Amino acid sequence: MPLGLILGIGRAFRRKRTSSLDILSSKRAPRDYYKGKNCKPTGFHTRKGGYVVMQEKLPNYVVPDLTDFKLKPYVSQCPTEVNTTEASESAK
């Protein structure tokens, strides 16, 4: 029996249709179902319909200081041929 699809208790066993094991979306669910986008909540809803954002739940990105960094942030997908002294010395 695939995936253990036997449901029920007692002497009356029923098989559940495999078509109902499809991915659950808001179109296949009840009217008030909201799936969301797999995001963590950043706060909570109040009784009067408001929303309170909690600072400890917000993402905190730590970015190092890159003022004297030699590399550029952009990398070209079409690099040009660059002759270096290291490559010419290793060929000898």
Each residue's pLDDT tens digit in the chain (92 positions)? Answer: 554 445 445 455 566 666 666 777 778 788 888 777 778 889 999 999 999 999 999 989 998 888 888 887 777 788 777 777 765 566 65
Place of tokens 């979306």: 25
Has this prediction a pTM greater than 0.75? no
Q: Give the pair of three-digit tokens for residue 75.
A: 């990398």
> Distance of CA 78 to CAs 2, 27, 35, 81, 89, Å?
50, 44, 41, 10, 26
pLDDT computed for residue 54 by the predictor: 95
Could you tell me the end-to-end alpha-carbon distance of the chain, in angstroms, rounded to an integer? 69
Tokens of 79: 């690099």
The reported pLDDT for the residue numbered 28 is: 79
